[in-house]
Amino acid sequence: MPVRPNLVSVYLPPAVLLKLLPEIAARVCNELWLNPGAESPEVLSEAERLGLNVVQACSIVGVGLSPSQL
């Protein structure tokens, strides 16, 4: 990515996400949004270790829309 992302929103299973967290951390995003199903104790622990600012919520709602509006 040519610019620092404001947020990274993931809809990945925890086993896949764990492998990608170091790459996400290297991008130095402001927030890592873990959508329902992407979180696990292991993901949260590794994200904290990497210094990521985690938001556990639906990113669609986070931008001000209800999924029914899409």
Q: What is the largest CA-CA distance in the chain?
A: 36
Is-contact 67 41, C-beta < 8 A?
no
The model's pTM: 0.82
Instruction: Say what the pLDDT of residue 7 is.
Output: 86
Element (H, E) at 17: helix 14-26
For the chain, domains (ranges, CATH) are: 7-69 (3.40.50.720)
Phi-psi region of 28 (alpha: psi -120 to 50; beta: other; left: phi over 0): left
Nearest residue to 48 (alpha-carbon basis) of 68, 34, 59: 34
Bridge partners, 34 (sequence order): 10, 56
**pLDDT per residue as tens digits for the range 1-60:** 677 778 899 999 999 999 999 999 998 888 999 999 999 999 999 999 999 999 999 888
